[in-house]
Amino acid sequence: MLRPISTFLHGRNAFYASLLLLPPLLWLGTVYLASLFALLLQSFYAIDEFTARIVPELTLRTYGALFTQPANVDIVLRTVLMATAVTVAAAVVAFPLANYMARHAGPKMKALCYVGVMLPMWTSYLVKVYAWRLILAKQGIVSWAVTSLGLGGVLDALLATPVVGGPSLASSYIGMFIVFLYMWLPFMILPLAAALERVPGSLLQASADLGARPGQTFRNIVLPLALPGLAAGSVFTFSLTLGDYIIPSVVGAPGYFIGMMVYQQQGTAGNMPLAAAFSVVPIVLIAIYLSFARRLGAFDAL
């Protein structure tokens, strides 16, 4: 029944390729790219301050407001700092586990690790965030455990740290950082493990054979060859943190983040141009980060 179709397609490679590409291109082209373009366009409009109406004329007034009003600059800086901290911490925490999964675990242990890393993703995002609020609360399990171990003073000292501290873990930037790290860690572990798995074991042996100590082999061979995975993972953790608005609104100190600002400006405040301008910030930052990573040679080994 399908034979006439196969026969027709045989030898018509260009037509066949366009058949394969059409659905995703339609989807990405219209739904994603077009709305992205609409968003970009919106960010070059501005709101009339008296009527609260959007004036459809191209202007840089909204971007001016974004970059000159200290409150807005603070939001951008706060978000970028948090995203950077989460990304660096995720890389540090993920590397040993990814290395173990890629190089040392037996087949069964490896499968167990992969399932273990992905298991949290089977649970609703909201459930996890609210669970973390309880875990980190003043009477939560973390402070109970720490106090029972006689380390209550350490926790208090930590929470007394200016800016990142707060009345409890659940209402401090430290707590928010912990939740972000937990939430995005799988997105760092998986690409990193995949990249490490592609490094042939003989390269590490060759390095040792030529006289490199384990630390030298790590710096000269493992790290450079894992860079594509590290870059991919960090794009995930960085962009997910930049854009998230639920974690900062459920856990942590009251300061605003970019995602919350976008949510509020396009919703209650009704300032669509400012919301658009805010959401352009992560896009630009990621683009800059990617070109930087490329220049560093992160994708040379691909």
Quick one: which of 246, 116, 245 has its CA closest to 185? Answer: 116
> Rounded distance, CA 248 to CA 256, Å?
8
Minimum gap (Å) between residue 208 Cβ and another protein: 4
Neighbours of 90 (CB within 10 A): 28
Q: Does 35 bind another protein (CB under 8 A)?
A: no
Q: Does 202 bind another protein (CB under 8 A)?
A: yes
Q: Does 225 bind another protein (CB under 8 A)?
A: yes
> Rounded distance, CA 246 to CA 256, Å?
11
The DSSP code for 301 is T
Q: Does 105 bind another protein (CB under 8 A)?
A: no
Minimum gap (Å) between residue 300 Cβ and another protein: 6
For another protein, the closer of residues 102 and 285 by Cβ is 102
Q: For residue 169, what are its two tokens?
A: 């873990």
Q: For residue 138, what are its two tokens?
A: 């003043």
Among 72, 168, 172, 207, binds another protein (CB under 8 A): 207
Q: Does 294 bind another protein (CB under 8 A)?
A: no
Q: Does 224 bind another protein (CB under 8 A)?
A: yes
For another protein, the closer of residues 97 and 204 by Cβ is 204
DSSP annotation string for 47-113: E-TTT--EE-S--SHHHHHHHHSHHHHHHHHHHHHHHHHHHHHHHHHHHHHHHIIIII--HHHHHHH
Token pair 């992560």 is at which residue? 282
Q: For residue 122, what are its two tokens?
A: 């089977």
Q: Does 295 bind another protein (CB under 8 A)?
A: no
Among 210, 287, 288, 296, binds another protein (CB under 8 A): 210
Q: Which stretch binds another protein (CB under 8 A): 140-148, 154-162, 201-209, 282-290?
A: 201-209
Q: Does 212 bind another protein (CB under 8 A)?
A: yes
Q: Does 140 bind another protein (CB under 8 A)?
A: no
Q: How many residues bind another protein (CB under 8 A)?
A: 20
The DSSP code for 137 is S
Interface ranges with another protein (CB under 8 A)? 200, 202-203, 205-213, 216, 220-221, 224-225, 297, 300-301
